[in-house]
Amino acid sequence: MSTTWWSRLSKKQEQDRASESQSTEKDQRIQKESDDDPDLDPGELTFEEYTAGGLGRHLGVTSCTLLIVGRIIGTGIFSTPSSILSSVRSVGACFLLWVLGFLLSFCGLFIWLEFGTMFPRSGGEKVYLEAVYKKPKYLATAVFAVNSILLGFTASSCIVFASHILVAADQSVDRWNERIIALGVIFFVVLLHGLAPKTGVLIMNLLSIFKIAILIFVVITGWVVLSGKTSVADPNYNFRNAFAGSSTSSNDYATATFKVLIAYGGWASVNYVMNNVRNPVRTLKIAGPLGLGICAFLYLLANVAYFAAATKTEIDESGVAVASLFFGNVFGPAAERALAIFIALSALGNVVTVTFGAARVNQELAKEGIPLPFGNKFWASNWPTGKSPLPGLIIHLIPSAITIIAPPPNIAFPFILDIEGYPQQIINFFIVIGLFYLRWKKPDAVRPFKVWWPLAVFFLAASAFLLIAPFMRPANGVGDTPPLPYYLYCLVGISIILAGGLYWAVWRIVLPKVFGYSLVPRKETLDDGTVVTVFSNKKIE
Question: What would the pLDDT profile of 381-435 be if each residue is shown by its tens digit?
Answer: 999 999 999 999 999 999 999 888 876 656 666 677 677 778 988 999 999 999 9
Which range is most confident: 45-49, 405-409, 474-478?
A: 45-49
359-363, 378-382, 537-541: least confidently modelled range: 537-541
What average pLDDT does the segment 256-273 reach? 90
Q: Which residues is 535 bridged to in the sheet? A: 521
What average pLDDT does the segment 49-70 reach? 92
By the 8 A CB rule, do 208 and 73 touch? yes
Tens-digit pLDDT profile for residues 276-303: 999 999 999 999 999 999 999 999 999 9
The pLDDT assigned to 411 comes to 62
The pLDDT assigned to 9 comes to 43
Confidence of residue 250 (pLDDT cuts 50, 70, 90): confident
Structural Rg of the chain based on CA atoms: 24
Q: Does position 170 have pLDDT exceeding 70, yes or no?
A: yes
Closest among 454, 352, 289, 367 to 127, alpha carbons compared: 367
Closest among 71, 437, 421, 426 to 272, alpha carbons compared: 71
What average pLDDT does the segment 356-370 reach? 94
Q: What is the mean pLDDT of the chain?
A: 86
The pLDDT assigned to 2 comes to 46
* End-to-end C-alpha distance for the chain, whole angstroms: 82
What average pLDDT does the segment 321-334 reach? 78
Burial annotation 105-138 (CB, 10 A radius, 16+ → b, else e) = bbbbbbbbbbbbbbbbbbbbbbbbbbbbbbeeeb
Percent of the chain past pLDDT 90, that is, above it, reads 55
Q: Does position 320 have pLDDT exceeding 50, yes or no?
A: no
Confidence of residue 7 (pLDDT cuts 50, 70, 90): low
Enter the pTM of the model: 0.89
Q: How would you classify the pairing of strands 531-539 and 517-525? A: antiparallel
Closest among 538, 102, 495 to 289, alpha carbons compared: 102
2-16, 187-201, 484-498: least confidently modelled range: 2-16
The pLDDT assigned to 14 comes to 55
